[in-house]
Structure 1
Amino acid sequence: MHISYARNVRREFYKTVWFYFRVVWPIFSLLLMMVVVLGLIISHLEEWSPFDGIYFAFVTGLTIGYGDLVPKLATSRVLAIVLGFHGILMTAIFAAISIRAIEVTAQAAKSDE
């Protein structure tokens, strides 16, 4: 495989990712905003700094879960569950875009041969 061919395949992949990301951007941005807002609400309830709340939101939403920040209040825990669902949806959308971009790129590469 030539380097220029590989470069063209990568370029096609990123163009396709960008195209589909623009299509789902309204949904993705709403989910992203909800993760930040829920993190800020939880930080307020738990008396954490806003940065800690946003950090907690993304660590929880991306299902990493380090455990360094743990909500103690029942309301915060329920919001953390909602936060987890929003994070799973964001991850699923990004994964779907990536898979679709791989499919389109593979079809384009196959037709170029």
Structure 2
Amino acid sequence: MTSKHSAHVRREFYKAVGFYFRVVWPIFSILFLLIVVVGLIISYLEGWPPLDGVYFGFVTGLTIGYGELVPKLGVSRVLAILLGFNGVLMTAIFAAISVRAIEVAVRASGKDE
């Protein structure tokens, strides 16, 4: 594969990622906002600073889970579980966009040969 061909495939990939991301942006932004809002709710319930709550929301939503912030209240724990499901869904959408973009880029590169 030539350098020019590789550059073309990459360009097609990024073009497709941009297109499909714009398609799912309303859903993705709602999921993103949900992580922030639920993180803020948990921070309020647990008595944490708001920034810690947002941090906890993303660490939990992205299933990283460092463990330095742990909710103690039952309602906070239930919300943390919902954050996990929300994050998995957000990650799945991003993965689906990437896979579809790879398919489009490979198909486009096959037409050029």
When normalised by structure 1's length, the TM-score is: 0.97
Matches of 1:75 and 1:49, distance apart in 2 = 18
Structure 1 ranges of 4+ moved more than 4 A? none
TM-aligned CA deviation for residue 7 of structure 1: 1.1
1:7 partner SS: helix
User: Pairwise mapping of residues 1-113 of structure 1 onto structure 2 (< 5 A)?
Assistant: 1-113=1-113
Number of residue pairs matched by the alignment? 113
Structure 2 spans left out of the alignment, 5+ residues: none
SS in 2 for 1:59: helix
The residue identity in structure 2 corresponding to 1:112 is D
| Alignment gaps of 5+ in structure 1 | none
Q: Deviations over 1:23-52 (max 9, x none)?
A: 000000000000100000001111111111
- Report sequence identity in percent: 70
Cα distance between partner residues in 1 of 2:8 and 2:55:
37
- Please report how far the alpha carbon of residue 112 of structure 1 lies from its aligned counterpart in structure 2 after TM superposition: 1.1
| Shift of residue 9, structure 1, vs aligned partner | 0.9
For normalisation by structure 2, the TM-score amounts to: 0.97
Which string of whole-angstrom CA distances, capped at 9 and with x for unpartnered residues, describes residues 78-98 of structure 1?
000111111111000000000
Secondary structure of the 1:28 match is helix
Could you tell me how far apart the structure 2 residues matched to 1:90 and 1:63 are?
11
The CA RMSD measured in Å over matched residues stands at: 0.7
